[in-house]
Amino acid sequence: MSLADDIYKKLVMDIVEHGIWDKDQTVRTVWADGTPAHTKSIICKQVTYDNTEVPILTTKRVPWKSAIHEMLWFYVKRTSDCAYLDEHNVSIWREWTNNHNNIGKAYGYQLGKEITLNGKLTNQVHHLIEQLKNNPASRRHVISLWDIDELDEMELYPCVWNNQWIVKEGKLHLIVNARSNDIGLGNPFNIFQYYVLQRMIAQVTGYALGTLTFNINDAHIYERHMDALQEQIEREAYAAPELWINPDITDIDDFTIDDFKLLHYKHHPAIKMEIAI
């Protein structure tokens, strides 16, 4: 069994066995038919990957190219305009795209907007890389997607809202903070894509790869996903695949989807789960 599948199985079982239902509350999230989308959840769950393996599930197919496309859209394109996703037939944001074909001032917009730091005009991504290279011991390597002044101009409040980067003994560690994480659909996607981002940043800054930690404030399973997840965690996992990243890329802005290959990815079939909106 791959390490990612083992961690995921334990997380699902923890929520199933110890989680709290929200059925006594009014929830904003609904299914496509308008029915309230209730969840069972646990509070403040932490999962850590040592990154000796690629953390992608094998008990179902994870759409890995779409996961990388979303990360490139955020951190390389740094825009909330969905034209890039449309160009690559990625539909994951369709339910939250407005009439202007964007998601408002969320995610990529926050990463791409111009800011002044240390007297220099920059953006969060370029500042992070510059500081990792030149001030590695700092404990201020933080990316924030939560701008309280612009929350009302976002089509969806950021779920993964903050991440911090720490350099120790020549290794680049990443801590990702999520206010909310849909374990059935979002979590496998998020874990893999932030591993990819960590690999990208480590490559352009020259550090070895450290650990990847996810802090999940509300780790939940939707009621309609319960049966599908029970089926999934009973499947026998395969060995983890390998991720090739073009070693010639030294600038974060030069990455494209063609610079990534997921090798030897053996997996079980995808499992259909409804999207809550």
CA distance 36 to 231: 24
Catalytic annotation, pick one of 7, 156, 159, 271:
159
Active site residue 82: no
Catalytic residues, which ones?
A: 159
